[in-house]
Amino acid sequence: MSTDEEPATVEPPGKTDAADASGAGDLGDSAPDDTAAALRDIESRQLAERAQGYQELADRLRADLEHSDPSRGAS
């Protein structure tokens, strides 16, 4: 094994290949306006501050889903 190999290149922050392939990077048609706006806000934050924003968004979306779940029936 040689130590003369060049280091792997690191891609700049932005869309990942997975996001490009899935279309997840373009939220225009796939997410409600408030969710897309929340994601843009989270992505504009410093990396260290994003986790809390993602958790808050996930909690809100989970609560919305639970309230809209027709299998729960009216009580």
Query: 8-38: per-residue pLDDT in tens?
Result: 555 555 544 444 443 445 554 566 899 999 9
pTM: 0.53
Residue ranges covered by each domain of the chain: 34-69
Q: Quick one: tokens of 32?
A: 């409600």
Query: What local confidence, expressed as pLDDT, does residue 17 receive?
Result: 45
At residue 6 the predicted structure's pLDDT band, cuts being 50, 70 and 90, is: low
**pLDDT tens, position by position, 38-73:** 999 999 999 999 999 999 999 999 999 988 877 766
